[in-house]
Structure 1
Amino acid sequence: MGLQTRINSAVEAAIRIGQGGIPPAKLSDALHYACTPGGARIRPTILMSVAMACGDDSPKMADAAAAALELMHCASLVHDDLPCFDDAAIRRGKPSVHRAYSEPLAVLAGDSLIILAFEVLAMAAEHSPDRAVRLIRILTRQSGMPYGICAGQGWESEAKIDLSAYHQSKTGALFIAATQMGAIAAGQDEEPWFELGARIGEAFQVADDLRDALYDSETLGKPVGQDDLHGRPNAVAVLGVDGAQSRLRDILSGAISSIPSCPGEAQLAEMVRMQAERLTPVPLTRTARAG
């Protein structure tokens, strides 16, 4: 089974848990809609790659961790798109959940996916209670306050923003969760994997800032110019296009250098390089917005 197939199967299995019994039909559909198609599945791909680099001695734990992380990410997108935040009409090339189902159902879908993420990890405790508890702890830390994606969203309501804390919480948190949860799922200590996740998260943020400033909505599959519209700090505004591109290259180089020693270190470095190619914007003359 290929890695993407394995991840998608784990996510689909998790969604079915939330659709069990006799659920309200529209909310049940919204759960699936929010998670599929799944885009690049970057975070669970990193998680699985770390687990495999560390031996992947408990595939069911890795599957549960990957599914939970992706459910949390999808929940954050549903909430990000709401009118009270970005008011985004499209996501992944289709109407955002609140446009397709209504605002109340989007709020409930996001909430349900968050709860489902932790249910998936709790159910995995039958394979290894210790690992399940550690996975829950990491996902909680990187999702809530004071360091997780909730904190990242909260920084946008502050008059003065700590840019480093903002970026690490809003974007870096779930990448840190990805590397650390991958290590835990394979029975390894999570602490050595923090730096790799933080660096990948920072690279993703800089790349996202570049795409937001330079690409059109058709290319991205979501609204563009959101940083300018909402007055958010971003790498392009601070460093300029050339400076942001240079910063992106430096971060990605550091990410590869930070990979802890493990049996699959070489393969993991190649995965990071592949993700770097996906992150790095293509020559801007091909996709930049006109005028």
Structure 2
Amino acid sequence: MPEPAPPDARLAQWRARVEATLAAALPAADTSPQRLHAAMRHAALDGGKRMRPLLVYATGSAFGCDAAALDHAAAAVELIHAYSLVHDDLPAMDDDALRRGKPTVHVAFGEATAILAGDALQALAFELLAQAPLPAPARVAMLQELAVAAGARGMCGGQALDIDATGQWQRDRSEVLPVATMANHRGEIHSDPASALERLHALKTGALLRAAVRLGALAAGADASTRERLDRFADALGLAFQIRDDLLDIEGDSATLGKTAGKDAAQVKATFPALLGIDASRARLQALRAAMEQALTPLGERTEVLAALGRKAIDRDR
């Protein structure tokens, strides 16, 4: 049996697979309604880290699933992510003009088309996942998993909490909160703002990353104890991914990030550096790195690509 390719080579192969699957699944830009179709392709193609589809491939392949059986799930979770970015960038949300190094969809195509493009990307995700070449029980379980992760108990719920928390932070002159509070939409104060912020991001960012891991595990038929360890990995990954995003918003530049730097501070967003400070946020990242390794170690060398993705989430510069 040939030796498996090193992690970076496998990641490159999987990126190529998901790009091809997305390009084939998205409607052609020259078919009617052209503006909508062009906006969908603008949002979903030619950019992004593809972390979520890579997690699908890395998990599924670790437990014996062929990449061809994972293509639909990998593309579906990326379509959900792409739709969320389109809506997140709208004037009613973050009002951003730059995404993945190019104009955001509402800037390029208009706000109404951007809303429709996001809606259509979400619908396409579930259509594509329903067509996955897997047994029907696995497909149904995967559809449910993705729906929960995308909805009020996941990403949308987290976004709502983020909106409620925006502007609630009060900074001292050093821009670090010595004592912080977070209020929900009813004005109720959380006495433990760090836990509240972790819950917010476990939904807004972590739910879809966890779903990506779970989709791969479901496709491969991983057992319950394995799925529990994968959940622990994914939970730590989701929080680490968000803390790194928060730090990059402070430390990065727009050209490298491919999106507007400094937006979190300008909008008084609920972020880990605002609450904990930069040094404590970096320390939290390292603790999460250890938690990811601890979750995966008992599963052996087959999870080496998952482990590599965890490290990339922490070490990335965009």
- TM-score calculated relative to the size of structure 2: 0.81
Q: Deviations over 1:7-62 (max 9, x none)?
A: 2122222214xx499530010111111011132101111110000101115x4431
SS of the aligned residue for 1:188 comes to coil
SS of the aligned residue for 1:258 comes to helix
Amino acid corresponding to residue 249 of structure 2 in structure 1: D
CA contact (8 A) 2:198 2:239 kept: no
Amino acid corresponding to residue 24 of structure 1 in structure 2: P
By how many angstroms is 1:181 displaced? 0.6
Q: Name the structure 2 match of 1:268.
A: 303
Gaps in structure 1 of 5+ consecutive residues? none
RMSD over aligned Cα atoms: 2.2
Q: Name the structure 2 match of 1:82.
A: 90
Q: Name the structure 1 match of 2:315.
A: 280
Q: Name the structure 2 match of 1:255.
A: 292
- Give yes or no for the alignment of 1:14 onto 2:14: no
Amino acid corresponding to residue 143 of structure 1 in structure 2: A
- Give yes or no for the alignment of 1:187 onto 2:221: yes
- Whole-Å separation in 1 of the counterparts to 2:249 and 2:109: 26
Equivalent residue pairs, number: 276
SS of the aligned residue for 1:156 comes to helix
- Give yes or no for the alignment of 1:134 onto 2:129: no
- Give yes or no for the alignment of 1:150 onto 2:161: no
Change (3 A) 1:279 1:121: same
Gaps in structure 2 of 5+ consecutive residues? 1-9, 166-182, 185-195
Give matches, 1:94-113, under 5 Å: 94-113=102-121
- Whole-Å separation in 2 of the counterparts to 1:281 and 1:30: 28
Change (3 A) 1:20 1:91: closer
- Give yes or no for the alignment of 1:37 onto 2:46: yes
By how many angstroms is 1:139 displaced? 0.3
Q: Deviations over 1:79-135 (max 9, x none)?
A: 1100000100000110000001000010000000000000011122x6311111011
SS of the aligned residue for 2:48 comes to coil
CA contact (8 A) 2:86 2:104 kept: yes
What percent identity do the matched residue pairs reach?
37
Change (3 A) 1:229 1:200: same
Q: Deviations over 1:143-201 (max 9, x none)?
A: 0012x110011112336153122110111011100111110111224642222111111
- TM-score calculated relative to the size of structure 1: 0.88
* Structure whose CA Rg is larger: 2
